[in-house]
């Protein structure tokens, strides 16, 4: 059934595919199907020019569609700035956002481990042996453990 529909559409199949992908872009979140839809429309435009030539077999059309899809996605990502750095680089990494801050030890660091209190949370810290009440500076974050040094 699908093959017969494709055969009936002929060169207009690429236009239908492109417009369908553009319509799905409205429903699906993100900005990805738009670029693939543009690639399908570009292959449709090429089909209008090359449909009767023997070189424009379905395999060549599929390769053109794949290449144009990749090119459109890469150009689209560059154009929309999808790879921009965030103004909040540590938004989802709370431990990394603490690097550079100072705190007071609430439990002494013995055998390399102790605890500090920052804001409303206590954190396990690793560092040199220090007594409770000593001021420390956070120098690194490893998951939920923080590495500190004497401040």
Residues in the chain: 151
Q: How many other CB atoms are found less than 10 A from the CB of residue 143?
A: 8
CA 132 – CA 107 distance, rounded (Å) = 5
Per-residue pLDDT at 140:
92
Residue 23 pLDDT class (50, 70, 90 cuts):
very high
Dihedral angle computed from the Cα positions of residues 76, 80, 84 and 90, in that order, rounded to the nearest 10 degrees: -110
Q: CB-based contacts of 90: which residues, under 8 Å, 6+ apart?
A: 96, 97
Query: What tens digit of pLDDT does each residue of 80-127 get?
Result: 776 666 666 666 777 788 889 999 999 999 999 999 988 888 889 999
CA 139 – CA 127 distance, rounded (Å) = 10
What are the two backbone dihedrals, phi and then psi, of residue 15, each rounded to the nearest 5 degrees? -65, -40
Strands (E), 7-150: 102-110, 113-118, 121-126, 135-142, 145-150
This prediction has a pTM of 0.54
């Amino acid at each position: 059934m699908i093959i017969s529909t494709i055969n009936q559409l002929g060169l207009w199949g690429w236009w239908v595919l492109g417009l369908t992908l553009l319509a799905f872009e409205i429903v699906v979140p993100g900005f990805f199907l738009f670029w693939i839809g543009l690639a399908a429309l570009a292959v449709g435009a090429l089909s209008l020019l090359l449909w009767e030539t023997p070189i424009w077999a379905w395999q060549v059309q599929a390769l053109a569609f794949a290449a144009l899809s990749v090119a459109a996605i890469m150009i689209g990502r560059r154009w929309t700035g999808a790879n921009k750095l965030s103004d909040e680089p540590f938004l989802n990494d709370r431990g990394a956002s603490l690097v550079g801050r100072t705190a007071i030890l609430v439990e002494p660091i013995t055998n390399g481990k102790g605890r500090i209190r920052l804001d409303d949370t206590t954190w396990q810290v690793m560092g040199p042996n220090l007594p409770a009440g000593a001021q420390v500076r956070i120098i690194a974050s490893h998951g939920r453990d923080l590495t500190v040094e004497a401040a």
